[in-house]
Copies of this chain bind each other. A is one copy, B any other.
Amino acid sequence: MTDTLPLILLAGFAPFGGESSNPSAEAVHALDGETVAGHRIVALELPVVFGESLRALEAAIGRHAPALVLAVGQAGGRTHVSLERIAINVDDARIADNAGAQPVDVPVVADGPAAYFSTLPIKAMLLALREAGLPCEISQTAGTFVCNHVFYGLMHALRARPGTRGGFVHIPWSPAQAAARPGAPSMPVATVVEALRIALGVALTTRTDVAVGGGAEH
């Protein structure tokens, strides 16, 4: 890792909500050290803890000065890789985080704006994943738990680094997680890894996003 390639900071999360694994961490670890479009991937595992997760991410950004930051979180119940469009300035926890905190209707950043849009070319990423035969969708909400908290805090932090783009991707349960849940959709970690590799490549080589639909009526 003593090369001089520019870096991608790729963050996954620790297990939470009673799970013993988190496919987001497995996926980012699998990609650690790989090169995509002339950039080296640095993987990072974040705690599922309000505040602490964001401090760990900000420290890693300071340490690595990455060209691009992508955070990846588990969205149990979703079927597709979800490219998140927007992060909102609220913590509202339905379940406790891994440190026992359960904030309700507290801003991520006091006096921060209501929301930040992803600065990744999510429509170009969507097209590339679909062409590769990988289930992918645009999501209009990253929720109000630690994932959205990290996404919002990331985009707030990146205001000070105009050359660094950032975004968030949610992924389905792994098959092993779904095996214990009748009716639960899943995606193998190997498929997620393939999707992330393509998504990062598109993000690094696309300056202006394409105008293809990815909206929802509600």
Contact = CB atoms under 8 A, between A and B. Distances in A.
Nearest to A114: B115
A204 interface: no
A142 to B, nearest CB: 6
Contacts of A129: 179
Nearest to A74: B218
Most chain B beta-carbon contacts within 10 A, residue among A90, A91, A216: A216
Contact of A78 (B77, B215, B218): B218
A157 interface: no
A113 B89 CA distance: 13
A103 to B, nearest CB: 9
Interface residues of A, number: 68
Contact of A182 (B17, B137, B191): B137
Given A79-B183, A79-B185, A136-B179, 8 more contacts: A76-B218, A82-B218, A92-B138, A92-B215, A104-B213, A113-B114, A143-B215, A147-B217
A105 B211 CA distance: 7
Interface of A: 17, 73-80, 82, 85-86, 88, 90-95, 102, 104-105, 113-117, 123, 129-130, 133-145, 147-148, 170, 175-176, 178-180, 182-188, 191, 209, 211-218
Nearest to A106: B211
A144 B140 CA distance: 8
A142 B218 contact: yes
Contacts of A92: 138, 213-216
A215 B178 contact: no
Given A140-B141, A144-B140, A75 B113 contact: no
